[in-house]
Amino acid sequence: MKKLFSLFMPTAVLVLAPSLAYAGDLQANDLVGVTFWIISIAMVAATVFFLMERSRVSGKWQTSLSIMSLVTLIAAVHYFYMREVWVDTGTSPTVFRYIDWVLTVPLQMIEFYLILAAVTAVSAGVFWRLLVGTLVMLIAGYAGEAGVINPVLGFIVGLAGWFYILYEIFMGEAGTVSASVSAAAQSAFSACRMVVLVGWAIYPAGYLFGYLMGGVDPASLNLIYNLADFVNKIAFGVFIWSAAISDSAQTA
């Protein structure tokens, strides 16, 4: 209990500080602003949940839940700042968005490695290849959104990075190894893999609508990105949590 409290308090303070500082400027008719708010709170709740559930799963799954709580914590803090940018200026918080992604997506890639490493022998190359795919995808996307390179070029190179990740988890070493692990690990791996295939497809769709079809529309771009983050961070973590719980129950 004492340990739990020592984990919970810094998290709560860190996350709540920006929200207390700027509680007043959200307008009731600002749908995108409201989604920024709801998702930031959902990220806080998910963080506390993964931290508390950590003690219920067996040792080999605990690191996975710790990493998930970092993902949602980092996202929660960025969401508070992104909401401010949106509410105050009505523009896309592109820099905060991509800083959040460049921190949280590699952590999610670690999850694929950890799920497999918890139950079998797998090379670190799996993680490095997933990291390279992530960086290519995000750097190209940022350069396109920031106008550093042509937005169509950023889109195409970004898609290539995403396809490289998909190749690794479906047909590369990670995909192959995942076919011969325990049922719980396999179900966590394939659920997360579906998130990367289906849930992640929402982001390039947002980019397409926001930047490539008839000029920039920041409201639809941010609405789409916000919904995508909700699914791809919280649901991704819940799949891992649920596999961890069922596997721990079996081996207890």
Ligand X SMILES: *C/C=C(C)/C=C/C=C(C)/C=C/C1=C(C)CCCC1(C)C
Can you list the pairs that 13-17 forms with residues at least 24 positions away whose Cβ atoms lie under 8 Å?
14/73, 14/77, 15/44, 15/47, 15/73, 15/76, 15/77, 15/80, 16/44
| Number of chain positions touching ligand X (CB under 6 A) | 17
Please state the closest distance from residue 58 (CB atom) to ligand X, in A.
27
Buried-state track 178-216, b at ≥16 Cβ within 10 A, e below 16: beebeebbbbbbbbbbebbeebbebbbebbeebbeeeee
233 binds ligand X (CB under 6 A): yes
Choose the stretch contacting ligand X; rule: CB under 6 A; options: 45-53, 59-67, 118-126, 203-211.
Answer: 203-211
Pick from 61, 189, 203, 239 the residue near ligand X by CB under 6 A.
203
Residue 49 is a binding residue for ligand X (CB under 6 A)? no
Among 85-93, 157-165, 170-178, 237-245, the segment contacting ligand X (CB under 6 A): 157-165
Q: How far is the CB of 76 from ligand X (least distance, A)?
A: 12
Q: Are 109 and 131 within 8 A, CB to CB?
A: yes
List 61, 200, 230, 239, residue binding ligand X (CB under 6 A):
200
Count of CB atoms within 10 A of residue 29's CB?
Answer: 6
Instruction: Give the residue ranges of DSSP H helices in 146-182.
Output: 151-170, 173-178
Residue 162, interface with ligand X (CB under 6 A)?
yes
37, 94, 232, 243: which one binds ligand X (CB under 6 A)? 232
Which is closer to ligand X, CB of 37 or CB of 203? 203
**For residues 213 and 204, is the Cβ–Cβ distance under 8 A?**
no
Binding region for ligand X (CB under 6 A): 101, 104-105, 137-138, 141, 155, 158-159, 162, 200, 203-204, 207, 229, 232-233
